[in-house]
Amino acid sequence: METTAIAGKEAKGYKLFTPVKLGALSLSHRVVMAPLTRMRTTKDNIPNDLMAEYYSQRATPGGYIISEATVVSRNGHGYYGEPGIYTDQHVEGWKKITKAVHDKGGKIFLQLWHNGRQSHFDLQPDGGAPVGPSVVPHDDMVFTPKGWVKASPNRALNIDEIRVLVDDFRRGAENARAAGFDGVELHGANGYLVDQFLQDGTNKRTDEYGGSIGNRVRFLLEIVEGMVAVWGGDRCAVRLGPSGTFGSISDSNPAALFGYAAEQLNRFGLAYLHVIEPRIVGSYLKEEGLQPVASAQLRKIFKGAIISAGGFNREDAEAILQRGDADAVAFGRFFISNPDLPLRLQLGLPLNDYDRNTFYGGDEHGYTDYPFYKGAVTSQAAAR
């Protein structure tokens, strides 16, 4: 495969390659594998041997991986081939993956999610409507057995259903523990269910889960409370995307909303807050004159560690660490195409180009066939 050149010398003295403690995790370096939706399950959303190989390739001694987003309930699916964590078979499948990562000396959290209204009739139990906090029309696309199609209209959840979903997330945390994970991260970003409750562009409720910022953050906090009851705060984390627009998401005052959410999360003693940096400011932010919300702002509010994500290269990652706005950096696309990414970044080696055509669904192509640098299969240098 072709390669992309980066800085041609070893990153000596870089903070990116120094140890860090994130809650209960003691890591050898700060290059984190971001949660990446790859959709490689082949039957009943059960993790498989191919996935175990993929994760094993990217594990490093003392390194940290956040799993792909994993569905906590049967009505939570929005992408054909994504894994679940709500059956015994899911747990057994994930055990292969946690063992593969641990055998390489790595650590791995399971990211819990529910797609909410980002779904289609074909992905729902008995062909039902996707669920969300409110009925708000949108034109987003989802991946089904028939390929990419427009999402189906959703219906609004009632209070009893919301409470069931909170329990589904808690049960997902329990199942993650049974599967051998080191902790759990809640996906509260990218326009999926938790984010749909947070932002007033998608949450039009008038009950205790809608209206005020405090009410809209309630669903997030109730889920985190359940996760922490299972794991303890230092093995739980939350991912937020304050400036994202994916999933037709928007809020009239994101700085106030996400500042409040970060402040409320302080009480749980989380391992970290995972913040998606604004790479492209969405049109609604420009039109309303709102500034994007990033790690720098939330660092002033959140008392724990922060992982930043969002199109970083080695130099950008080092810069945000040196500024003190983050404690570690998550890499996505380059981790897809470079199973030995920590080593390549540390030594300034060329990077494999990634193939977007193989990001979502398929087989081993564009998944486990990206080469290690010159056939090397170890990242020991990056873990020193």
Catalytic (active-site) positions = 192
Residue 323 zone, left/alpha/beta (φ > 0; ψ -120 to 50; rest): alpha
Q: Which amino acid is at 294?
A: A
Question: DSSP class of residue 38?
Answer: -
State residue 144 phi and psi, 5-degree precision. Answer: -120, 180
| Residue-by-residue DSSP string for 105-168 | T-EEEEEEE--TTS--GGGSGGG---EESS------EEEETTEEEEPPPPEEPPHHHHHHHHHH
Token pair for residue 377? Answer: 């299969």
Nearest to 307 by CA among 7, 11, 27, 14: 27
Asked if residues 229 and 153 have their Cβ atoms less than 8 Å apart, the reply is no
The sign one gets for the Cα dihedral 314, 35, 62, 308 is positive
Beta strand segments in the chain, E? 3-4, 20-22, 25-27, 31-33, 64-71, 107-113, 131-132, 141-144, 147-150, 155-156, 183-187, 236-240, 272-276, 306-309, 328-331, 351-352
Helix (H, G, I), strand (E, B) or coil at 327: coil
Q: Directed axis angle between helix 213-231 and helix 159-178, to 10°?
A: 30
3-state SS of the chain: helix, strand, coil percent to 5? 40, 15, 45
As to burial, measured by CB atoms within 10 angstroms (0-12 exposed, 13-18 middle, 19+ buried), residue 228 is buried
Tokens standing for 50?
A: 């191919």
**Which of 159, 253, 249, 165 is CA-nearest to residue 203?**
249
Strand-pairing partners, residue 238, are 186, 273
Return the closest-CA partner of residue 307 out of 278, 274, 332.
Answer: 274
